[in-house]
Structure 1
């Protein structure tokens, strides 16, 4: 695992937490923030996955 994979996974987790808190408190703004964080985390993880694939080739 490289740093992009780790940071991407961490960002996704933070996003899930923010989304859950937003739902629980009926705070749409926080829920959307969580969705955006999850998308950004997934993008970073995908970048890390691609780097690992290139590195193994």
Structure 2
């Protein structure tokens, strides 16, 4: 499903941005939240891949 891939990409991008901001500000909490969001995006991408395989 395209929507899962789009959501995943958006979360990965936002997570990386939060991590970069956390690095720049030396903010460990922001870094952790960014990493969590990036992982959420990777999971959404994997779900999208699985749904794509089931549709084929």
TM over 0.5: yes
Ranges of 4+ aligned residues in structure 1 off by more than 3 Å: none
Gaps of 5+ in 1: none
Aligned to 2:11: 11
TM-score by length of 2: 0.94
TM-score, length of structure 1 as denominator length:
0.92
Give the count of matched residue pairs.
56
Q: RMSD of the TM alignment (CA)? A: 0.9
User: Aligned runs of 1:18-57 on 2, under 5 Å?
Assistant: 18-56=18-56
CA drift at 1:25: 0.6
Q: Structure 2: any 5+ residue segments left out of the alignment?
A: none
